[in-house]
């Protein structure tokens, strides 16, 4: 159980889902990172399309959904020094292989396994996501 947007609780099973955070120090103007949360969501959707040929959707600005149920979410926290981004913490949670959900969220949450009947390789998803996101981030910063 972790913190989500607006102080809500994010429930996750450690063994059956993806939940990770990472820090990026881009040392660029904040303007270059506008819309970064949505771009992260797009990379997640593209990753699942590429690896598993499934179509997930984005509920702007930071949710990954399927059939109007939440599969994942993104949280970003930016630390500024003047107009420059000192660092950005990016947290990602994706319900991948979880089959049962807490009563409090059962009607609003789902997983890749429940919706598509496949078992997700978390390491593959994270590696592909990081590769694609790094490429996009470099283009943003240098472009």
- Average pLDDT, stretch 101-129? 94
- Average pLDDT, stretch 69-96? 95
- Average pLDDT, stretch 77-97? 95
User: What pLDDT digit, counting tens, does each position of 6-17 carry?
Assistant: 555 555 666 889
Output the pTM of the full model. 0.90
**Tokens standing for residue 5:** 């947007």
- Average pLDDT, stretch 56-68? 96
- Average pLDDT, stretch 75-90? 95
| Local confidence band at 58 (pLDDT 50, 70, 90 cut-offs) | very high
- Average pLDDT, stretch 43-68? 97
pLDDT confidence of residue 2: 45
To which residue do tokens 């978390």 refer? 122
Whether residue 64 contacts residue 57, with contact meaning beta carbons closer than 8 Å, is answered with: yes
Q: Tell the CATH topology of 2-142.
A: BirA Bifunctional Protein; domain 2 (3.30.930)
Where do the structural domains in the chain lie, given as residue ranges? 2-142
Cα-Cα-Cα-Cα dihedral sign, residues 113, 7, 62, 44: negative
Percentage of residues in the chain having pLDDT higher than 90: 80
| Local confidence band at 130 (pLDDT 50, 70, 90 cut-offs) | very high
């Amino acid at each position: 159980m972790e913190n989500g947007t607006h102080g809500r609780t994010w429930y996750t099973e450690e063994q059956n889902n993806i939940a990770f955070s990472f820090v990026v120090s881009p040392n660029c103007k904040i303007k270059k990172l506008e819309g970064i949360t949505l771009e992260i969501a797009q990379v997640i959707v593209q990753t699942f399309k590429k690896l598993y040929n499934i179509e997930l959707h984005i509920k702007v600005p930071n949710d990954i959904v399927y059939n109007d149920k939440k599969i994942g979410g993104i949280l970003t926290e930016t630390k500024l020094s003047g107009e420059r981004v000192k660092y950005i913490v990016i947290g990602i949670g994706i319900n991948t292989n979880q089959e049962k959900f807490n009563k409090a969220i059962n009607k609003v949450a789902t997983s890749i396994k429940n919706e598509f009947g496949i078992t997700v390789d978390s390491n593959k998803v994270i590696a592909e996501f990081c590769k694609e996101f790094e490429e996009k981030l470099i283009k943003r910063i240098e472009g």
